[in-house]
Amino acid sequence: MSYDPAAISTLIRNRLESFQSNTTVEEVGLVVETADGIVRVSGLPNAMLGEMIAFPNGIFGIVFNLEADHLVVIILGKKTAVTIGDTAKCSGRIMEVPVGKALLGRVVNAVGEPIDGKGPVASTGVRPVETKVPGVLDRSPVEEPMQTGYKIVDALIPIGRGQRELIIGDRQTGKTTLAIDTIINQKGAGVVCIYVAIGKKSSSVVEVLETLTKAGAMAYTIIVDASADDPASMQYLAPYSGTAIAEEFMYAEKQDVLIVYDDLTKHANAYRQISLLLKRPPGREAFPGDVFYLHSRLLERSARLSQELGGASITSLPIVETQRGDVSTYIPTNVISITDGQIFLQGDLFYAGFRPAINAGISVSRVGGKAQTAAIRKLSGKLRLELARFREKESFTAFASELDEETQLQLKRGTILVEILKQGIHVPMPVEEQVLSIYLATSVLIEKLDLSKVKAFEMALLAKVRSEDQSLLEEIRSSKKFTPDSETKLRSHIQALLDGAFKG
């Protein structure tokens, strides 16, 4: 029997060329140590910093440290979910979350999983939770207002789209309420809102959800919840995940976004806990040395993009809690230096009945004034001057027994102004009605009105203009200006009430 070497060689070559292997090669590591949600993994030399590591039972973690002979991974789940001896595999992906319009109206956790009981989210894609911030040439000036619906804020501490405005104050002074009302005020404005709850009680998040649902705001809102019951790793991740979701709307959908971080004090505490468990050197107040970078790389992602990139924006309202009004502690001073201004809520004002309890004297907006409407800008200068004058007189005359007539009149004007600036919760005002109230607050027409009737007078004036002169409201709304003709019409409405229902 003879063999043809050439034929055999050709046959072998053809079979080798057509051979397909179904085998794959992957690195598998081993958990060698675990404690308080921090695990050390050996055997994954090609892992990347920030990469998602897969453990059994669908548990994931994030590579936090790359050390000589092992990885340090924080677990995104229960502390006991991973044990010594478990296998670990690289995913090849940097930590990412689901994004897209399907998330609107939903409550998700820090990794984008729904927790509202409404079933899975049909997301259209994913984005990495940490991305490069927009450069200077990729940004454009802040020129459009982000109306909060609060007279004192929109007039004296205005916020522009693309700005980072800190809300700071002691607990139970109305910080969250201010942020939630700002979300409610975006109804019909084409702004997507994201509320990130960090370390809050689950009952508080449910209350926020109910408030937004009742106001019809959940249609354009996403809640990212990392509650106090969640591990520190989820609380650390939540604001970055929320920002990634926001960036999808800004970059891909060309929509303006408002994101609230409630609050960054608890976020810093979660990061401190992780860092101490990683045995990183503690610094001031036991925080690690990079705690400033923790928040700067987060808040710098808020911006107004250039027209070449679509011109959309992310406006952020970070919230920081203080102790007894002390803003000189580590985290408040850090965040103040990163943001474009701060709204300071003061406990003394809150308990005195002035709500929102904003101290306009030490609150500031470094950007938003450029984005104010012409009508508000025209009236806010006089408002600021009158309020400052009143606060000065009030402090000097607190212990005076006798006051001259002029000082008494200035104090009376100031108390009227303060009364009109008070505003109930969850009732944000459209800008055209704010113009009417602000003009009324600085008007000498009502300086003789009894203080107990001031709030009722304001409500009556707004109701009168709504029912009898919609053209005045439409003129202010469309032109964004307060013309002499508009002022004449408004003065006539005020005088009509003074001569009528409020006479005497």
Q: Which residues are catalytic?
A: 366
How far is the C-alpha of 381 from the C-alpha of 88, rounded, in Å? 62
Contact indicator for 28, 43 with CB cutoff of 8 Å: yes
Tokens of 365: 């907006």
Q: How far is CA 396 from CA 273, 354, 389, 403, in A?
A: 47, 20, 11, 11
Q: Which residue has the tokens 């010594």?
A: 84
Q: How far is CA 202 from CA 11, 225, 367, in A?
A: 69, 9, 35
The percent helix, strand, coil of the chain (3-state, each to 5) is 45, 20, 35
C-alpha angle with apex 98: 238 to 183, nearest 5 degrees? Answer: 60
How far is the C-alpha of 147 from the C-alpha of 363, rounded, in Å? 17
Strands 314-322 and 166-170 come out as parallel
How far is the C-alpha of 157 from the C-alpha of 356, rounded, in Å? 13
How far is the C-alpha of 43 from the C-alpha of 62, rounded, in Å? 16
Question: CA nearest 322: which of 237, 264, 272, 238?
Answer: 264
Q: Which residue has the tokens 């009236």?
A: 379
Instruction: List strand residue ranges (DSSP E) for 212-350, in order.
Output: 221-226, 256-262, 314-322, 341-345
Strand-pairing partners, residue 323, are 326
